[in-house]
């Protein structure tokens, strides 16, 4: 572009009768062809929510088993030392990971309260 030349904006397109009718139909949810099919999105959302809660319940269950082994007498324990060590490793790793993620978000300006 040459110096001193100005670029003119294009005029907005004029609304036709057909476009006005389509806009009214879409706003009133009356045109099937313009509706979105959110079936896949809904299924993925439900699967994500179910997966999240399955994970949360699993971690809580593991935490309860570990707590049981901390507060009950040894004759009531049913996990071996290696199994108890694995549970401890899983819980400590999960807690540490969550804490470090939260700290990193705060440090690097992420959106977290």
Residue 57 pLDDT? 93
CA distance 91 to 65: 11
Residue in this structure with the two tokens 């003119």, named with its chain if needed: 8
pLDDT given at position 49: 94
Q: At what angle do helices 81-107 and 39-71 cross, to 10 degrees?
A: 130
Structural element, H or E, at residue 96? helix 81-107
Q: For residue 28, with 0-12 CB atoms within 10 Å meaning exposed, 13-18 middle and 19 or more buried, which class applies?
A: exposed
Give every CB contact of residue 69 below 8 A, 6+ residues apart in sequence: 77, 79, 84
- What ranges make up the beta strands (E) of the chain? none
3-state secondary structure of 45: helix
Residue 24, pLDDT score: 83
Q: What is the CA radius of gyration of the chain?
A: 29
- pLDDT at residue 22, as a whole number: 80
Q: What is the pLDDT of residue 26?
A: 78
pLDDT at 38: 76
What are the per-10-residue average pLDDT scores of the chain (113 residues)? 76 82 79 69 91 90 87 86 88 88 84 53
Where in the chain are the domains? 17-107
């Amino acid at each position: 572009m040459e110096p001193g030349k100005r670029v003119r904006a294009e005029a907005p397109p004029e609304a036709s009768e057909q476009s006005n009718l389509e806009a009214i139909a879409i706003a009133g949810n009356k045109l099937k062809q313009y509706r979105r099919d959110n079936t896949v999105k809904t299924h993925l959302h439900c699967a994500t929510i179910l997966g999240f809660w399955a994970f949360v319940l699993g971690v809580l269950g593991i935490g309860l088993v570990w707590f049981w082994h901390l507060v009950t007498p040894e004759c009531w324990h049913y996990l071996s030392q290696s199994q108890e060590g694995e549970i401890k490793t899983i819980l400590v790793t999960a807690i540490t990971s969550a804490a470090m993620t939260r700290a990193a978000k705060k440090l690097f300006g992420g959106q977290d309260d």
